[in-house]
């Protein structure tokens, strides 16, 4: 097992390009001033910012003057969504309507919810089960009072790419502003802001530093866009705060590198993604999430039948991958994106997003394939769906006791098997669908049962909870283990 996990989480953040690091270090050591200042050090910084603005604009087919620097795509999204709506005349705003996708990133859904809290009508449109929003579905959801359509170009979990030209054409025809979050598509797919009113970027998805992003604002929208961060006149009044010159220079160079290397990177990512998918597709119960073809090249999201998601992830220490929602994968909650696309809770939880980057290799992909295949085999061998493995016990003439509790839909399903001879347990086994703590408690219990009689003390759910290192909110799973044990002992 490798000491450093194979990094397959580039959709969350990708390493900073070494050339970008060097450029940022040079800026930091150059003694530049505040780019808002008029003295020579300030003007030197302003010149660096201006050049970076041109580089960002060139990546998306925009004029430099239409680029507003932000702290990232999350802030850019908030500026576009809240700033656009709040900048409308009061009467129009009071009757307004905003549309987003139910599968959009929380950086979009959060500002949209804030508008809903303020009384605006909001539609969270559910795309087709493959994650694609058709132009017809968008057109049917628009209303006379729709002020803004906000959507993600490439979904960060599934990699599904929306047909921006077709959706932009619908919005233009109806006179509705369109905001696009292009955080996952910049540098991987062709981008052109023609027909788009607002477009958000973040540098750390394509080799730039964290903490800097940009918002493209169409010239016709700049007049009414309301600043959300106030306190200074920076960015022509649209975003207050001293510009971080070194980060902006890093983003600018990352954009230039992404623009020149996009086709080669896309081919590299597509080749690796196909290799990863082909290495797992032949396994039973492996389901591809999202459209098979209309997608970004470097993201693969799979759901796995008959395994518990937390146990699957815990069994892959050699891989750095995401499960659940990418920005909140530690929560243990099932992905709302996959649930919206029709996956049940168990399948949504038992999903992995493996995302590739410029530095990813075939060897790393092969390591991931072997690790996932190994863990699927191990966990499925424990499944209570399989017949109880007791043939060898029966051949010994031992009496077999069986107790079961829980269900797959509850997230924990346990079966305890006891081999009894006379008044003693001579062997014990378990089958389980459950979290790593539950499996650990089962292993400890079956290890302690041989040699015991029907009334020998065996500990309590609280004891098993402590021994497994589980948090208190998993006590219910230990209670199910107790139920399975009691069910087996009741037949003694």
Residues labelled catalytic:
327
Rounded to whole angstroms, the Cα distance separating 241 from 488 reads 67
* Tokens describing residue 407: 């269900």
Query: Which H, E and C letters describe 98-166, residue by residue?
Result: EEEECCCCHHHHHHHHHHHHCCCEEEEECCCCCCCCCHHHHHHHCCCCEEEEEEECECCCCCEECCHHH
Spatial contact of 189 and 183, defined as CB atoms under 8 Å apart? no
Residue whose C-alpha is closest to residue 68's, from 60, 79, 59, 58: 79
- Please name the residue that has the structure tokens 């493959």: 130
Beta bridge partners of 414: 405, 432
Q: Of 454, 434, 430, 423, which Cα lies nearest the Cα of 444?
A: 430
Q: In the β-sheet with 299-304, what is the strand arrangement from edge to edge?
A: 286-288, 299-304, 351-355
Q: Which helix (H) or strand (E) holds 444?
A: helix 436-448
Cα within 13 Å of Cα(416), Cβ side: 33
């Amino acid at each position: 097992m490798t000491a450093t996990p194979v990094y397959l989480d580039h959709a969350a953040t990708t390493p900073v390009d070494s050339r970008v690091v060097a450029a940022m270090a040079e800026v930091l050591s150059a003694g530049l001033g505040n780019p808002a200042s008029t003295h020579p050090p300030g003007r030197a910084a302003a010149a660096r910012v201006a050049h970076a603005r041109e580089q960002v604009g060139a990546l998306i087919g925009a004029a430099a003057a239409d680029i507003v620097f932000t702290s990232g795509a999350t802030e850019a999204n908030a500026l576009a969504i809240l700033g656009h709506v709040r900048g409308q005349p009061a009467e129009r705003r009071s009757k307004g309507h905003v549309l987003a996708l139910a599968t959009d990133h929380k950086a979009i859904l959060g500002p949209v919810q804030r508008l809903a809290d303020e009384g605006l009508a909001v539609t969270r449109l559910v795309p087709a089960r493959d994650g694609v929003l058709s132009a017809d579905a968008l057109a049917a959801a628009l209303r006379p009072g729709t002020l803004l359509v906000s959507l993600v170009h490439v979904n960060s979990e599934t990699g599904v790419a929306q047909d921006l030209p077709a959706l932009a054409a619908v919005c233009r025809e109806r006179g509705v502003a369109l905001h696009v979050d292009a955080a996952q598509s910049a540098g991987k797919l062709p981008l052109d802001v023609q027909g788009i009113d607002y477009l958000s970027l973040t540098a750390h998805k394509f080799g730039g530093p964290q903490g800097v992003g940009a918002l493209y604002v169409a010239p016709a929208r700049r007049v009414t866009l309301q600043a959300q961060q106030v306190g200074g006149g920076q960015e022509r009044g649209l975003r207050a705060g001293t510009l971080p010159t070194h980060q902006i220079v890093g983003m600018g160079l990352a954009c230039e590198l992404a623009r020149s290397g996009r086709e080669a990177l896309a081919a590299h990512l597509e080749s690796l993604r196909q290799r990863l998918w082909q290495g797992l597709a032949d396994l039973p119960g492996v389901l591809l999430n999202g459209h098979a073809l209309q997608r970004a090249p470097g993201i693969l999201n799979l759901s796995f039948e008959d395994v518990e998601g937390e146990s699957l992830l815990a069994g892959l220490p050699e891989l750095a991958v995401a499960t659940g929602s990418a920005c909140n994968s530690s929560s243990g909650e099932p992905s709302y994106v996959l649930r919206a696309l029709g996956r049940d809770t168990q399948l949504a939880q038992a999903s992995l997003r493996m995302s590739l980057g410029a530095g990813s290799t075939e060897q790393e992909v092969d390591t991931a394939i072997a690790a996932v295949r190994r863990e699927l085999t191990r966990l499925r061998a424990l499944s209570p769906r399989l017949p109880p493995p007791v043939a060898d016990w029966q051949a010994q003439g031992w009496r077999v006791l069986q107790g079961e509790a829980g269900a797959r839909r509850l997230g924990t399903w346990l079966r305890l098997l006891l081999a009894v001879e006379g008044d003693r347990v001579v062997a014990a086994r378990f089958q389980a669908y459950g979290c790593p703590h539950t499996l650990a408690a089962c292993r400890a219990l079956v290890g302690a049962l041989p040699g015991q009689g029907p009334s020998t003390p065996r500990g309590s759910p609280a004891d098993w909870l402590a021994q497994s290192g589980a948090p208190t909110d998993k006590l219910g799973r230990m209670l199910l283990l107790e139920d399975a044990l009691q069910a087996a002992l009741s037949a003694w």
